[in-house]
Chain A
Amino acid sequence: MKYPNMLYTALLSAFLVVPFAIATLAPVLEPYPALLLPSGGGTIKTTEDQMDLGRLVIYGRVADRDAWTRLSPPKFLSPIPAEFFSPLVQHYFGLSPVGPIANRTRVGVVITIDTRKVPQEEVKNAKQWLRARLKDSGCDDNVLRITQEVVTFRRSDGTEIAVRSENDKVFDLH
């Protein structure tokens, strides 16, 4: 082989750089497998007394009472690791169709990704699974509430000051 180091370096670079470039320009298209480590380059304002953070929460109705209880993601999802809670909830556990999602890339191009259409049979199975989990959590297994909340915290000690619901959905599991 005439230029072995050049060939080796070129192949290795392609293997490393191409997925990185895709993930950087269009995070929604991050390939797998790819040699990437979590970047998380966002910043937060640190000078105000209060700050607003968004969170996704699931609630179960307390059995025989008209009250909701917040469910702990690690316990509710186990053995699914808790880090998958957010994407699962964003897709409403497949219970409700989520329309095509438009994502703007860093170069300004908008990529629209069609979400997978979930057949009725799979929705039925998902409801069955969720009912079992709600029962294990001591909740009424008829309904599941998924809420997008904006929570105001006191920056100095992390005390929760206020909670505002932005998107509240209750799913009938029967």
Chain B
Amino acid sequence: MTKSLIFIERSLTIFWQRLEDTCSNDARSLGLFRIFWGMYILLFFTPYSAFVGQVPQAFYNPPVLSLASLFAGFPPYWLMLAGDLVRIWLVVLITIGIKTRFCTIVLCLLTFISNNFVYSFGKIDHDALVWAVSLCLAFTDWGVPYALVPDRRVNPKVATRALATAGVLIAFGFFTAGFEKALHWINFDLSTGGFLGWFYGGYLILDRKLLLAPLVFRVPPQLFKILDYAAVAFELSPFFFLLAGPAAWRAWLLVATCFHLANALLLNIPFWDHVLVYLPFVAFARSFGRLNVGVRATNAVFSWRVLVIICAIILGAAHTAQRLKGGGSQFLFVEGGSVVSIYLYGSLVLLALCAVMIAIDLTTRVYGTRLYRDSSRRAVPDDARSGPDMADR
């Protein structure tokens, strides 16, 4: 029994070491990502749940297995509004880099609680992955570089494990999406379609008729069977790419971004929040190495970090003002029913930007590895800027 346990422990050690190597990212890159993450949330994914305090209690239909099922109805407006404001300012603090670790953990927990009530209309939306990955980032050093009040550095083993866990969460999330599809979509029956099931329902019933959606009618339906197989292969494959190595994993992340772009164009389903799930693995410090993003700003007055602080505070104040006036929005302060098309067009830009960033990182990584291998083979001194871990120097 003990021998079996030791064998399992050793196997898992190798497994996790492999994942940690694949998912690792330097602290400077994570620090830069933190700032991007915060600004992104303040602009495109702002916490907004106060409206549930203004709807009739008769609409209350919480998930059976959730915290909200213990409550008799939606919380009062003032409480949901307070929750929104607290979360908005936690995002501001995280962006600026004040007690990031603590703020991130509190933000994620508050978000799970708030969203539980938002999903008490009888349907659960699936944005838990964003907050689960953010919770993992709380246990890295993302709150150390470029931070006004830096966190204490964590044990490097904890940080690498946190990022590896984030990778596992992403892979598992996609597995849950692909599992049921695999049961029904993988067959040789060309008279049925899985992708088209999504398309027809969305286009004809939910009025998802924008962008490239109308073009779907021009394509013979049997051809979309290829998309059925591709979707299943893509959604069930991330664990393999996690184990295959850093470049392979980032290639999968690039495909994932393109997958969301395709869904936005053809099905009008934008998943722009997943930009925050894929970009923690991008070595921003390597890609932006030529820009003056040094931790010690040479010119305090024009430091780009001062600009970030000012922008974050202005956005926080703007959101506060909008909420206190009784309004609110997740995306660019836009309110009302017409926001759907704005989400869609905006998501195209955001996903395209994400794809470009991942592609640059992947190219730099692959090119850097090749140069390093060539240098090693020729046994010449390495160029300090071209090694595979350039960002760590």
Residues of A within 8 A of B (CB): 3-6, 8-9, 12, 16, 20, 22-24, 28-47, 51, 53-55, 72, 74-80, 82-84, 86-88, 90-91, 93-95, 113, 115-116, 118, 122-123, 125-126, 128-129, 151, 153, 155-158, 160
How many Å lie between the Cα of A71 and that of B205 in the bound state?
Answer: 13
A36, A86, A155: which has the most chain B beta carbons within 10 Å? A36
In the complex, are the beta carbons of A36 and B126 less than 8 A apart? yes
Q: With A33-B116, A88-B59, A90-B122 in contact, do A79 and B328 touch (Cβ < 8 Å)?
A: yes
In the complex, are the beta carbons of B204 and A28 less than 8 A apart? no
With a CB–CB cut-off of 8 A, which chain A residues contact B129?
35, 37
A24, A51, A53, A116: which has the most chain B beta carbons within 10 Å? A116
In the complex, are the beta carbons of B128 and A36 less than 8 A apart? yes
In the complex, are the beta carbons of B58 and A123 less than 8 A apart? yes
In the complex, are the beta carbons of A43 and B185 less than 8 A apart? yes
8 A-B pairs, CB-CB below 8 angstroms?
A5-B16, A40-B181, A44-B192, A46-B221, A74-B340, A75-B337, A94-B56, A126-B57
| B40-62 interface with A by 8 A CB criterion | 51, 55-61
In the complex, are the beta carbons of A39 and B181 less than 8 A apart? yes
B193 within 8 A of A: yes
In the complex, are the beta carbons of A84 and B123 less than 8 A apart? yes
In the complex, are the beta carbons of A72 and B65 less than 8 A apart? no
State the Cβ distance, B34 to closest chain A Cβ, in Å.
Answer: 22
Q: With A32-B63, A78-B337 in contact, do A39 and B179 touch (Cβ < 8 Å)?
A: yes
How many Å lie between the Cα of A53 and that of B203 in the bound state?
Answer: 11
Residues of B within 8 A of A (CB): 5, 8-9, 12-13, 15-16, 51, 55-61, 63-66, 68, 73, 112, 115-116, 119, 121-126, 128-129, 131-132, 161, 165, 168-169, 172-174, 176-185, 190-194, 196-198, 200-201, 203-205, 217, 221-222, 224, 328, 335-340
In the complex, are the beta carbons of B9 and A3 less than 8 A apart? yes
In the complex, are the beta carbons of A83 and B123 less than 8 A apart? yes
With a CB–CB cut-off of 8 A, which chain B residues contact A39?
176-181
How many Å lie between the Cα of A160 and that of B200 in the bound state?
Answer: 12
Q: With A33-B116, A40-B197, A41-B185 in contact, do A116 and B123 touch (Cβ < 8 Å)?
A: no
Q: Which of these, A24, A29, A40, A129, contacts B56 with CB under 8 Å? A: A129
Chain B: CB-nearest residue to A79: B51
In the complex, are the beta carbons of A126 and B59 less than 8 A apart? yes
In the complex, are the beta carbons of B51 and A125 less than 8 A apart? no
Q: With A3-B5, A83-B123, A126-B58 in contact, do A35 and B66 touch (Cβ < 8 Å)?
A: no
In the complex, are the beta carbons of B181 and A83 less than 8 A apart? no
With a CB–CB cut-off of 8 A, which chain B residues contact A87?
61, 121-123
With a CB–CB cut-off of 8 A, which chain B residues contact A94?
56-60
How many Å lie between the Cα of A44 and that of B183 in the bound state?
Answer: 14
With a CB–CB cut-off of 8 A, which chain A residues contact B181?
39-41
The 5 closest A-B pairs by CB, nearest first: A87-B122, A94-B58, A41-B180, A74-B337, A31-B65
How many Å lie between the Cα of A78 and that of B54 in the bound state?
Answer: 11
How many Å lie between the Cα of A41 and that of B61 in the bound state?
Answer: 25
State the Cβ distance, A164 to closest chain B Cβ, in Å.
Answer: 15
In the complex, are the beta carbons of A93 and B59 less than 8 A apart? yes
Q: With A22-B65, A126-B58 in contact, do A37 and B337 touch (Cβ < 8 Å)?
A: no
State the Cβ distance, A86 to closest chain B Cβ, in Å.
Answer: 7
In the complex, are the beta carbons of B185 and A129 less than 8 A apart? no
